[in-house]
Structure 1
Amino acid sequence: MGVIGMGVMGKSLALNLAEKDVSVSLYNRFVAGKEEGIAQKVVDENPEFSNMLAFEDLQKFVDSLEKPRRILMMIPAGVAIDAQLDSLLPILAKDDLVIDGGNSFYLDSNRRVARLHELGMHFLPMGVSGGEEGARKGPSIMPGGNAEGYAMVEDFLGRISAKDKDGKPCVTYVGPGGSGHFVKMVHNSIEYGEMQVLAELTHLLRFGFGCTPEQVSGIFSDWGKGELKSFLLEITADLLLFKENGELLLDKILDQAGQKGTGAWSLTTALEYGIPYSPLAESVNARGVSGEKAMRVAFSKTFQHEFQQVEGSLEEWLPKIKAAYSLARIINHEVGFRLMKTVSDTKDWKLNFNEISRIWTNGCIIRSGLMENISANYSDSVSFFEMAGVKDQVVSGRKALAELVGLGLTHGFALPVMSAGINYLLGRITAESSASVIQAQRDYFGAHTYQRKNDPSGKFYHTNWI
């Protein structure tokens, strides 16, 4: 196997492969004064692996690989991928395989699959989740492209991936074209939502209910022992205890959240396909708002904004907070899975959501007890909200989520994902909505017509409202 790009993820995956008895050729570009001897440094720092070779010459790197060649690119998405392919393809041969293990946009991946297919080669757009530790010890892997290309590396990927509760590798052939990168994109979108909900709860508990970081950590740890267990809940409980020089490190971190684009791509894709996406869209927007630090500081003085302490008992609120958190997470996942199902049906990808959720039960960032339930109970014939283990929480949790959002907003706390979540849910379960007013408005000013409830034929009407 060849690995191009010795950044954090590329290096970690290469070491994972070597540890699993896969001979690995490492390549990193040479840039004088900036990137020199990078691949050789990885080899030198890991002498326990005698099955790794390092290269800075692309031709020699390719020549070191047995045919048909199998090459994994772990480089930044975008123009860098096409530039690397431009250099690589002329020295490859028919039936060779190239894998893009980064976070490329799935439409770009569709194009690259077609490009290599015309040359008689294979291209696998492959999502990889788990961060540095996951890449080194066992990630969740989502390859798309063509099945023939996947068969060439199925064994290798199975060795290095995380394993589910039954010991099965957390890797599966997702589907054709850029589907592997598409499901990774939606995975990251759900990840955004899950992170934001925990941030909102942490803020409300600390500055609304007056909890210490240790108390919030204890609450999250307690939740993590049951059906709410999740990797993100676990690490949030951990970071609330981490101190630097005796002070909470969290409070020293600038409150400006970064992002790399996958969340926004999911939003634009949802808009393209007409899928309501407000809860996960708000997780993207929240990061954008957080980036306007100077303006937020100025406005907080202009409008004299302060958090207000909650007068109610934390003990009385905790069951409601837990139920609200549980439902907010369900909504986040429903939104993401609904987008995946719609795009899969439109493109005839035939995505297997039981299998996709199964490979998300370990190794990936959004692994959780909820994901295990989805893997066991997902069905195309039943709506997500009516799924076993979900329906009861939708019924019992919606009042708690509404009350918690109301509490937070009236006490000065922005709760963008949780508030969008309850609005989204109420909109989905409301039989008679306010949209009739919209249709009347549209017909009034633009003669856009409307349909009538008492005419099942679907005929469109126009009224002279003046």
Structure 2
Amino acid sequence: METPQSFDVALVGLGVMGENLALNLHGHGFAVTGFDLEEHKRASFASRLGTEAPRSLQELVASLRAPRVLLLMVPAGAPVDAVLRDLRPLLHPGDVVIDGGNTRFTDTQRRIAELTGSGILYVGAGVSGGEEGALRGPSIMPGGDAQAWPVVRPLLQAIAARAEDDTPCCEWIGPGASGHFVKMVHNGIEYADMQTICEAYFLMQQLLGLQPREMSAVFAEWSRGELSSYLVDITADILSRTDPESGGALVDVIVDTAEQKGTGKWASQAALDLGVTAPTIADAVFARTVSAVRAERAAAAGVLAGPKLQFTGERAGFTEKIRRALLAAKICAYAQGFALLAAADREYSWDLAHGTIAGLWRAGCIIRARLLEDIRHAYARDAKLANLLVDPHFAGVMQDCQQALREVVATAALHGVPAPAFMSALAYYDSYRAPRLPANLLQAQRDYFGAHKYERLDRAGKFHTHWVD
């Protein structure tokens, strides 16, 4: 064990993510210590970093240089509260606690309020990149007490991924729970991104009869162009893998039930709370929930009728339409995510820099993609852009791709192939570009049964009609 007050940073929670972040920090020259309630995790940490792990939080805190910096990588919710409760009496004003877990932003808001007056600097940091990112360089989105940033910046930017221009994918997001909110939106976009890719795969399988290896080649080709991204890359890899037991495609033996950890749901709930239209993100969540009722779906398949049509189109031509539809749907999902960020900024006064956030997602994180460089440029052109769709570049891409999205959605509907994310992306696009919607009738209905009143086009004010004599 090194001498007291000799460590730069401590990890609390030595699971895979915590241990890999510790190794990343160690590899960048920082003196790292760590603690976990489970002895075998402490042993693994000690073995991999060549240092003994403390057996208590008291011992851990005592080994840190001032101001002490502790990075929590424990499960979100009650475990974070428990660690904070135990740590608080051990810390001094100026010490920094970073919550790097997938914490709900409302919990971060509450914890910041609870620490007010203590002098302890609290940071809610979104960390994206999974196990590999934690070890090799994640995207990091820190927010909270701005006094903490000069203290933690050298640590966090050193271990973060770097974009092609060598910019670290870690920058201060803003006050309050802004860091965890931005990470939540990242994950909401991630849900939509994954679902649209899955729908592209499913359409090629169900309508075109393509085999996994054929689709692997398609996705690999797509990733060399506008759709270049981590998720498209790994999809190509997944579809190329053979199951060693059956000899068939590995993807074909995986059960079609998707799990979730809640961040996509939180993003959808935040959109509802803030009055933001984010249907593609929400439908990606619902796609997972309907996948979970597998037994019900199997039973319903024998009861519910669907179309009997056989696809008769040309394979290569329709594959290209799916590519364009996927690009259009992805743009719509990003537009919804950034609209959610803008609404949160209006609500909480965080002063979010959308271009900076897009820059943080260019490397290290799960949604890293070529598209993000274009998004960064869009907000450089207009920092107050009302919606990503009206940026000249993206408006042009949507003009080029929207017909393909329509044809893919129509073909999926006519042939009974579920494509909820594609369908909601198209509805979002058409609703956003519509100069008039049927909400006038809806408002009249509300006034009819509830006297909620309505506004008129020809004069100001609120009006009520006595509909029933």
- TM-score, structure 2 as length reference: 0.94
Q: For residue 115 of structure 2, give the secondary structure of its aligned residue in structure 1.
A: helix
- Alignment-derived partner of residue 22 in structure 2: 14
- Alignment-derived partner of residue 265 in structure 1: 266
- Alignment-derived partner of residue 251 in structure 1: 252
- Alignment-derived partner of residue 423 in structure 1: 427
Structure 2, unaligned stretches of length 5 or more? 1-8
Q: For residue 103 of structure 2, give the secondary structure of its aligned residue in structure 1.
A: coil
The structural deviation recorded for 1:146 is: 1.4
Q: Per-residue CA shift, 1:316-344, capped at 9, x if unaligned?
A: 22332222111100000000100101111
The structural deviation recorded for 1:124 is: 0.5
Q: Per-residue CA shift, 1:115-154, capped at 9, x if unaligned?
A: 2232111010000000000010000000001121121110
2:390 to 367, 386, 403: 386
1:435 to 432, 439, 446: 439
Matches within 5 A, 1:151-300: 151-245=150-244, 246-300=247-301
Q: For residue 127 of structure 1, give the secondary structure of its aligned residue in structure 2.
A: strand
The structural deviation recorded for 1:304 is: 5.4
Q: Separation in 1 of the partners of 2:243 and 2:308?
A: 26
Q: For residue 37 of structure 1, give the secondary structure of its aligned residue in structure 2.
A: helix
Q: Per-residue CA shift, 1:72-131, capped at 9, x if unaligned?
A: 000000011001111111111221111100011111101212222321110100000000
Q: 1:323 to 1:177 in 2, by over 3 A?
A: same
State whether structure 2 residue 339 is matched by structure 1 residue 338. yes
Aligned-pair identity in percent equals 39
Q: Separation in 2 of the partners of 1:461 and 1:425?
A: 32
Q: Do the aligned partners of 1:207 and 1:307 also contact (CA within 8 Å) in 2?
A: no
The structural deviation recorded for 1:385 is: 0.9
Q: Separation in 2 of the partners of 1:126 and 1:291?
A: 31
Q: Per-residue CA shift, 1:295-316, capped at 9, x if unaligned?
A: 0111111225588542100122
- Alignment-derived partner of residue 41 in structure 1: 44
Q: Do the aligned partners of 2:453 and 2:462 also contact (CA within 8 Å) in 1?
A: no
Q: Do the aligned partners of 1:357 and 1:371 also contact (CA within 8 Å) in 2?
A: yes
The amino acid of 1:123's aligned partner reads: Y
Q: Separation in 2 of the partners of 1:53 and 1:207?
A: 55
The structural deviation recorded for 1:215 is: 1.6
- Alignment-derived partner of residue 4 in structure 2: none
- Alignment-derived partner of residue 32 in structure 1: none
Q: Separation in 1 of the partners of 2:285 and 2:124?
A: 24
The structural deviation recorded for 1:259 is: 0.6
Q: Separation in 2 of the partners of 1:268 and 1:441?
A: 26
The structural deviation recorded for 1:36 is: 2.2
Q: Separation in 2 of the partners of 1:438 and 1:195?
A: 34
Q: Separation in 1 of the partners of 2:131 and 2:310?
A: 39
The structural deviation recorded for 1:446 is: 2.2
Q: Separation in 2 of the partners of 1:127 and 1:98?
A: 14
Q: Separation in 1 of the partners of 2:182 and 2:93?
A: 28
Q: Separation in 1 of the partners of 2:316 and 2:243?
A: 30
Q: Separation in 2 of the partners of 1:395 and 1:307?
A: 32
Q: Separation in 1 of the partners of 2:115 and 2:447?
A: 50
Q: Separation in 1 of the partners of 2:166 and 2:326?
A: 30
The amino acid of 1:448's aligned partner reads: H
The amino acid of 2:411's aligned partner reads: L
- Alignment-derived partner of residue 375 in structure 2: 374
Of residues 251-260 and 393-402 in structure 1, the stretch that sits farther from structure 2 once superposed is: 393-402
- TM-score, structure 1 as length reference: 0.95
1:405 to 409, 413, 422: 409
Structure 1, unaligned stretches of length 5 or more? 30-34
Q: Do the aligned partners of 1:6 and 1:28 also contact (CA within 8 Å) in 2?
A: yes
Cα RMSD over matched residues? 1.5
The amino acid of 2:373's aligned partner reads: E
Q: 1:306 to 1:11 in 2, by over 3 A?
A: farther
Q: Do the aligned partners of 2:206 and 2:417 also contact (CA within 8 Å) in 1?
A: no
- Alignment-derived partner of residue 329 in structure 1: 330
The structural deviation recorded for 1:464 is: 2.7
The amino acid of 1:289's aligned partner reads: V
Q: Separation in 2 of the partners of 1:167 and 1:309?
A: 50
Q: Do the aligned partners of 1:228 and 1:326 also contact (CA within 8 Å) in 2?
A: yes
The amino acid of 1:237's aligned partner reads: A
